[in-house]
Amino acid sequence: MHSISTMIPEYFPDQGHLFYFWKGRVALYTILNAFHIGPGDEVILPGFTCVVVANAILYLGATPVYADIEPETYNLSVRTIEPLITSRTRVILAQNTFGLSADLDPILALANHHGLVVVEDCAHGLGGSYKNRPNGTVAHAAFFSTQWSKPISTGLGGIAYIQDEACAEQIEHLIRMIPPPTFPQQLMLSAQRILRPFADHPLLHYALIRCYRVLTQKFGFPVGSSTGQELTSIKKPPGYLKRMGRAQLRLWQRSLVPLAKIVKQRQQAAAIYDAYFDAIGLALPRRPAYADHAMLRYPIRVANKPEILTKAQHFHIPLGDWFVSPLHPVGSDLQPWRYQQGQCPIAERACREVVNLFTDSPLSRRQLDRLFSK
């Protein structure tokens, strides 16, 4: 267990505990395990998420229960959660979608009424805040991702921040049994980190994405954040549980200093996008008064998502397709993950309409015109 006060006092309050993992999904799995989630238990999560989040629940034998989202924030709310609570519900997983916190106070009040745990999914949320409290420090526990595209990147990586003392003590026990990454795994990650800047080059971006998806889905190579098995099966893959390696941890500690500056730059990029999309008549992403949006990505709804994604590839313009389905990136047959088509209609519509723009390297006016001008 690490002392917050000696490591990163500028973000995390002193009363919590930090633990470091190979990936964010491993942090989530360990949090749920520490809360003794298992067979017969239900975990409510948004039907607008990554499949690896549902996997962490299923690997423990629990059942994911998908709640629809609010159309303007892409997050859960009490309205979408409350009808799904049963005697078997144990956890509510509140996601910071694209960097925006859910409205947590009403969710926490609902959870307290039913004796439930709330875990913040801050894979998108590092650097944002809810009512002046940093994302991840409001609920009982939270997990973060430090994967490639995040404001602070360690290549791969996951952080658990725990305010529940019993959960923290249990994780302290569990983490002793979790091995660090092997030397070849750390070497591969270091090589990927060196090559990563090439993925942002417009001429290489889509070719590398296609290569990555072939390698992970067909051959199971862990060249990115997921292995093929995680995208095709609900069985926990070998070697899933790992702690964060030393090189990753050093990068995390060094990178925390400019976090506020990084988030500010992303918010400035979002302001440029605001002006552009307002001028052409598209609805801007909502920023509720209760939150400071971290703007990991800039989501925009369009009527012709497939056409715009095709244009992006043709003109070599980086553009995100999150989420292609309620369990991104799995495109069809979501039944193994207990999702039924039509279960979350607002989320399914968002999957058909929402693209997202990079905020770490904003698009130029010319690139925006090529994608969105009529």
Look at residue 14 and tell me whether its pLDDT is greater than 80: no
Taking residues 264-268, report their average pLDDT.
97
CA distance from start to end of the chain: 55
The backbone torsions φ and ψ at residue 161, rounded to the nearest 5 degrees and listed phi first, read: -115, 120
Confidence of residue 199 (pLDDT cuts 50, 70, 90): low
Residue 125 CA to residue 137 CA, distance in Å, equals: 11
Residue 54 has pLDDT above 60, yes or no: yes
Count of other CB atoms within 10 angstroms of residue 232:
16
Tell whether the model's pLDDT for residue 226 goes beyond 90: no
- Residue in this structure with the two tokens 């999150």, named with its chain if needed: 322
Is residue 74 within 8 A of residue 373, CB to CB? The reply is no
Highest mean pLDDT among 11-20, 175-184, 187-196, 261-270: 261-270
Q: Average pLDDT for residues 281-308, to the nearest whole number?
A: 98
Model confidence band, residue 6 (pLDDT cutoffs 50, 70, 90): very low
* Those residues with Cβ within 8 angstroms of residue 96's Cβ, 6 or more apart along the chain or in another chain: 75, 102, 120, 121, 122, 123, 124, 125, 128, 135, 294
| CA–CA dist 45, 78 (Å, integer) | 12
**Higher per-residue confidence, 312 vs 256:** 312
Predicted confidence (pLDDT) at residue 3 exceeds the cutoff of 70: no
181-190, 230-239, 263-272, 347-356, range with the lowest pLDDT: 181-190
Banded model confidence at residue 183, pLDDT cuts 50, 70, 90: confident
What token pair was written down for 103?
A: 């409205």
pTM: 0.91
Active site residues per annotation: 150
Confidence of residue 120 (pLDDT cuts 50, 70, 90): very high
Are the CB atoms for 31 and 136 separated by under 8 Å? no
- Looking at every residue in the chain, the average pLDDT score rounds to 90
User: Quick one: average pLDDT of 146-154?
Assistant: 87
Report yes or no: 330 and 51 within 8 Å, Cβ to Cβ.
yes
pLDDT at 223 over 70: no
124: helix, strand or coil: coil
Go through the domains of the chain in sequence order and give each one's CATH number.
Answer: 259-372 (3.90.1150.10)
